[in-house]
Amino acid sequence: MKIIPLADRVVIKTVEAEETTKSGIILTGSAKEKPQVAEVIAVGPGGVVDGKEVTMTVKVGDKVLTSKYSGTDVKVDGEECTIVRQGDILAIVEE
Distance of CA 70 to the CA centre of its chain: 9
Q: Residue 84: its pLDDT value, please?
A: 96
pLDDT of residue 26: 64
- pLDDT of 31 reads 47
The per-residue pLDDT for 5 is 95
Please count the structural domains in the chain: 1
CATH number at residue 89: 2.30.33.40
The distance from CA 50 to its chain's CA centroid, rounded to whole angstroms, is 22
Mark the ranges of the chain whose per-residue pLDDT is less than 50.
31
In a domain, 13, yes or no: yes
pTM score of the predicted model: 0.78
- Tally the residues of the chain: 95
Chain segment 23-49, per-residue pLDDT in tens: 766 665 554 555 589 999 999 999 998
**Domain limits at 50?**
9-18+25-93
